[in-house]
Amino acid sequence: MRAKLTSFLSILCLLMVFAAVVQAAPAGKVTNLEGRADLTAPGQPAKALLIGDTVNVGDILRTKSGSKLEVTWIDGSIARLSENSRLKVTEFTLGVKKRSTILSLFRGKVQNVVTGATQLFGEKDGSRYEIHTPTSVCGVRGTVFFIYHENGVSGALFTEGKGFMYSKGQPGNVKPVAPGVMMIVTSANKPPEAKPAKPGDATKLFNATNPSEKKKDDKKGEEKKEGATGGGTSGAGGTTAASGKDESTGATKTEDTGGTAGTTGKTG
């Protein structure tokens, strides 16, 4: 009996180690940073980010006020976060003919530049690139799109290619997204509403998410001088957030000091 128990515990430990390795699989790295941002790995305190830092599956990225962050995934796709954003790398797998990227946006804005979308993302091969918010899911059939979640409202705008969006409470009611159309989700139980994008909406989102090249060069210079010490730890990003259990139920967390940016209906 004792031998069986020992064997069972050994197998359980191996499974836990394997799960931890899978969870920590590299997904990309920080390629641009303007201002301050931090990363919370599962079960770990938040740490300040620097250009060149690795981003793994399960990590949660957070930008502070007045800050922007760019992450380049190992497949060449790019995610750019605006200030006061919080994003989790929920899933990232890359194969020869198939890949899957799922990012969970709890708050803020993200610009997504997806490589090879026309060849790799489609309904037949099962490949996907999706952004999940507390109220919606937005997927890509194209190359460049923005998505945000602020004040309980989610929105998406494609500037190139096409995609789809649905409310989390109505997964069977999938709405196509064409370039130049703003999709708005006000509740997880209401279908997305399509509205023509206003002139300047795409520019506002681009400016909100794109770090400046000058800041990128300055940051590289700081890294050479300071090494890998960073700018200190920016508060706990929330160990419950790393588990992914609490964040999907709401858009805000009490430990966040950055606040929520702007009014969503006018954000674009």
pLDDT at 267 over 70: no
Give residue-wise pLDDT tens across range 169-227.
999 999 999 999 999 999 999 999 999 999 999 999 999 999 987 555 454 445 545 44
pLDDT of residue 95: 75
Q: Average pLDDT for residues 2-25, to the nearest whole number?
A: 51
* Domain residue spans of the chain: 26-225
Alpha carbon 149 to its chain centroid, in Å, reads 11
Q: Pick the more confident residue, 110 or 24.
A: 110
Only one residue has tokens 């770990």, namely 44
pLDDT of residue 35: 97
Q: Pick the more confident residue, 146 or 236.
A: 146
CATH number of 26-225: 2.60.120.1440
Measured between alpha carbons, how far is 111 from 177 in angstroms, rounded to an integer?
Answer: 16
| Residues, the chain | 268
**Both structure tokens of 156:** 């998406």
Report yes or no: 147 and 154 within 8 Å, Cβ to Cβ.
Answer: yes
pLDDT at 229 over 90: no
Give residue-wise pLDDT tens across range 121-133.
554 556 789 999 9
Share of the chain above pLDDT 90, in %: 55
pLDDT at 238 over 60: no
Q: Average pLDDT for residues 225-244, to the nearest whole number?
A: 41
pLDDT of residue 58: 97
Report yes or no: 174 and 191 within 8 Å, Cβ to Cβ.
Answer: no
* 142 band by pLDDT with thresholds 50, 70 and 90: low
Share of the chain above pLDDT 70, in %: 65
**Given the DSSP bridges, would you call strands 99-113 and 128-132 parallel, antiparallel or unpaired?**
parallel
pLDDT of residue 185: 97
pLDDT at 233 over 80: no
pLDDT of residue 212: 81
Q: Pick the more confident residue, 248 or 111.
A: 111
* 255 band by pLDDT with thresholds 50, 70 and 90: very low
* Ramachandran bin of 65, using left for φ above 0, alpha for ψ from -120 to 50, beta for the remaining angles: beta
Closest CA to 69 of 88, 82, 50, 59: 82
Give residue-wise pLDDT tens across range 52-66.
999 999 999 999 999
Report yes or no: 112 and 119 within 8 Å, Cβ to Cβ.
Answer: no
pLDDT of residue 116: 65
Closest CA to 33 of 204, 202, 208, 220: 220
- Cβ neighbours of residue 257 closer than 8 Å, sequence gap 6 or more: 64, 235
Q: How many CB atoms lie within 10 A of CB 179?
A: 16
